[in-house]
């Protein structure tokens, strides 16, 4: 079996969500490492987005969100 055949739809969807979250945090201006940590942590993206919109520094927003 190929890797694609062994990957379940749930795993594919989880991967898509993880990638989307990473892209969203990157788009907010977090560096790659910060965006990855936020995406993997399950941090509330809407909350983080509101912190950034209120001019919260990225490093502080990261600490608050985690």
Q: How far is CA 2 from CA 7, 14, 25, 27, 41, in A?
A: 9, 19, 32, 34, 30
Q: If you search the block for the tokens 């965006």, which residue do you land on?
A: 35
pLDDT > 50? residue 1: no
**Domain spans, the chain:** 7-65
pLDDT at 9: 82
Reported as a single tens digit per residue, the pLDDT across 8-59 is 888 888 999 999 999 999 999 999 999 999 999 999 999 999 999 999 999 9
What confidence category does residue 5 fall into, taking pLDDT thresholds of 50, 70 and 90? low
pTM: 0.82
Task: Give the pLDDT of residue 59.
Answer: 98
Sign of the torsion formed by the C-alpha atoms of 22, 48, 37 and 15:
negative
Rounded distance, CA 17 to CA 62, Å?
20
């Amino acid at each position: 079996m190929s890797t694609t055949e062994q990957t379940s739809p749930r795993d594919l969807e989880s991967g898509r969500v993880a990638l989307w979250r990473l892209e969203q945090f990157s788009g907010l201006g977090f560096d790659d490492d910060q965006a990855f940590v936020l995406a993997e942590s399950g941090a509330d993206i809407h909350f983080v987005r509101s912190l950034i919109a209120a001019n919260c520094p990225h490093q502080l927003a990261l600490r608050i969100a985690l």
